[in-house]
A and B are shown apart, each in its own frame.
Chain A
Amino acid sequence: MIRLQDVTKVYNMGTVQVHALRRVTLDVAEGELMAIMGPSGSGKSTLMNILGCLDQPTAGEYYLEGTSVNSLTDDQLAEIRNKKIGFVFQNYNLLARTSALDNVQVPLVYAGVPASLRRSRAVDALKSVGLGDRLSHKPNELSGGQQQRVTIARALVNQPTIILADEPTGNLDTRTGREIIEIFQQLSLERGITVVFVTHDAEVAACTQRIVRLRDGLITGEEKVDEACAYLSAETEAV
């Protein structure tokens, strides 16, 4: 599904070279729910950018569904982002003064989906995250959790194979964070979508199948999570 082979990313900051990633090799299986953890400056964001085809590695190979992404043009990368990848950001990144429905339609516009079809697909996506009754609300009329669910609907609307989330629960309270993670679990288990997200929260990370730890641009550890998710069951007790 996803295969990184000795991926290195070097930024030139004036005269200084910053190695954001050093020969990272990583495989992610289809339908896997994976968390990336690491302190700030560890290269998490760079890794996410490369996985999301927003950036390209300085060295090494990135295979997405078996094909190398390295030699693609900007427009080809844009098409991959549009069709295969869904992004969920910590600060939502929704278009201001634009209704939830229109926000979710944006990827469809660039995919060339006709207007009539766009609306129904966007409505379906919003319903699937439980926002069927908030279609015409603008971002500033929605709570943080609702905004994050609009973002997920936008990420899902083009039926991607991968969802990448950068600290999706970072701005949310525990309860809403749980709801978001639950949605991710469903996507992974029921729809077979690969979900990779960055988190600082060990409890949240524990709800995934695998945790990858990153430090100074190197993968320092990987662990399989087997036991039942304490984070989510805690919620059930609370209710």
Chain B
Amino acid sequence: MDVIESLRLATRGLAANKMRSLLTMLGIIIGVGAVIALLSIGQGAQNAITEQIQDIGSNLIFVFPGSLTQAGASFGAGTLASLSLKDAEAIANPANCPDCAAVAPQRSGVAQIIYRSANTSATVVGTTPEYAFVRKLPLAEGSFFNGQESARASRVAILGGAIAEDLFDLEGALGQTIRIDRVPFRVIGVLEEQGIGGGGANLDMQVFVPLTTARARLFGSLVAKGGGDAVSLINVSAVSEQRVDAAVEQITELLRARHRIQYQDDDCTATSQQDILGVFNQVTSILTIFLTAIAAISLLVGGIGIMNIMLVSVTERTREIGIRKAVGAKRRDIMVQFLIEAMVLSILGGLIGIGFGAAAAALVSATGVLDTGVSGQSVALAVGFSVSVGLFFGLYPATRAASLNPIDALRYE
């Protein structure tokens, strides 16, 4: 008996009980649909995060101060004023860190931004002119402040896209005077609006001013642990993507020497973009594995459903099996017939599931939150899974059908 004939038989058998077949497939449909949807959404999320982090610059290094610990309680990274402007200058010196191309220290704080009757709350970042280069700031109009403005502690500001929209509806911001905590600043540049972003990289709600100005007029001076003006973060750009790890190494060594740290008891951390990317990827892949495991359980349940229905079907069709055996069906013929029926159920369920999963992924894409895509890999995985579920859970009922004695089967009422 050939495969086409078996397929024809199987589909006819299933079509005879359409509702039952559909309900049986439902478990597989849900399982496969969940696998496809979760894998493609997870992949989309991972891509989005990777893209965003890479937008900031793939050779970017952050140097964070360590965490402040009081009476054994840690206040989290960045709470310790261990980094100073002098540290930044030391890193910028090519003699110390040959693989660091540019350095931009920053101090930031939250402040109220006011323009006439409009006002909004924003993160004010005081930094140096190198910042625009290190962080690859996308300017929509105007320019970043220069060395002169920085040296003179000019009251100039560059607005993030969302701030500009809030205060000026994106029009005519340039040259206007805004007030940051009552201090007037002239707007000299506006950044492109980036939309929803994650990973602490959202520039839309930030305002950039010279570090000198910020210290003198906004945040006041803060002395670092080792002396000098404290900064909350140092942005460093490595000479190339390949030299990032070397640059991290050099910065760590340099700061240990400057802060007289022994036994790796670091009071600050240099982290590259790749490290952060790695952590994100790890988190998303753990999440993906976790969700896939849940989907796999639902596939298992679906498979048990198929086995159950196939066993019912074998009992119901005992007489048919007897007739087929009497007219010459061999064990193998009966076995193949029922196995193919189970596999048609699971594969058909799998295909419908792929359809639903792809539709769910497309729906997520349509909302604009994430750009998802169903990968060939996940489709192959889903098909492979449904074939094996059908094979595995169809085997027992098929064996039972095949081993029926024809005389008893014919007599079965």
Residue positions of A touching B, CB distance < 8 A = 49, 52, 54-55, 74-75, 78-79, 81-83, 87, 89, 93-97, 106-107, 109-112, 115, 154, 158
Contact = CB atoms under 8 A, between A and B. Distances in A.
Contacts of B330: 74-75, 78-79, 110
Nearest to A154: B327
Contact of A78 (B5, B323, B329, B410): B329
17 contacts: A49-B407, A52-B326, A54-B326, A54-B407, A55-B407, A74-B330, A79-B328, A81-B326, A83-B328, A87-B326, A93-B319, A95-B320, A95-B323, A96-B320, A109-B1, A109-B5, A111-B328
Contacts of A158: 328
Contacts of A94: 323
A87 B331 contact: no
A106 B331 contact: no
Given A93-B319, A110-B333, A115 B328 contact: no
Contact of B331 (A74, A83, A111): A74
A106 B2 CA distance: 13
B3 to A, nearest CB: 12
Contacts of A81: 325-328
Among B328, B330, B332, chain A packs the most CB atoms within 10 A around the CB of B328
Given A81-B328, A82-B327, 17 more contacts: A49-B407, A55-B407, A75-B330, A78-B330, A79-B328, A81-B326, A89-B410, A93-B323, A96-B320, A106-B323, A106-B327, A107-B327, A110-B328, A110-B333, A111-B328, A112-B1, A115-B5
Contacts, number: 58
B16 interface: yes
Nearest to B6: A109
Among B319, B320, B330, chain A packs the most CB atoms within 10 A around the CB of B330
B31 interface: no
B189 interface: no
B406 interface: yes
A107 B16 contact: no
Contacts of A112: 1-2
Contacts of A87: 326-327
A52 B410 CA distance: 13
Contacts of A55: 407
Contact of B406 (A54, A106, A107): A54
Contacts of B325: 78, 81
Contacts of B322: 93
Contacts of A154: 327
Ordered nearest first, which 3 A-B pairs have the shortest CB separation? A82-B328, A110-B328, A107-B327
A106 B323 CA distance: 9
Contact of B324 (A75, A79, A96, A110): A110
B334 to A, nearest CB: 10
Interface residues of B, number: 21
A168 to B, nearest CB: 15
Interface of B: 1-2, 5, 16, 319-320, 322-333, 406-407, 410
Nearest to A92: B323
A110 B329 contact: yes
Contacts of A93: 319, 322-323, 326, 410
A55 B320 CA distance: 18
A173 to B, nearest CB: 24
A83 B324 CA distance: 13
Contacts of A109: 1, 5
A29 B328 CA distance: 24
A102 to B, nearest CB: 9
A229 to B, nearest CB: 29
B80 to A, nearest CB: 80
A78 B407 contact: no
Contacts of A106: 323-324, 327
A97 B17 CA distance: 12
B403 to A, nearest CB: 9
A166 B307 CA distance: 36
A109 to B, nearest CB: 6
A97 B2 CA distance: 22
Given A49-B407, A54-B407, A110 B331 contact: no
A220 B243 CA distance: 104
A197 B319 CA distance: 22
A44 to B, nearest CB: 14
Contacts of B1: 109-110, 112
Contacts of B5: 109, 115
Contacts of B324: 106, 110
B328 A107 contact: yes
B401 to A, nearest CB: 14
A11 to B, nearest CB: 11
Contacts of A78: 325, 328-331
A17 to B, nearest CB: 18
B16 A97 contact: yes
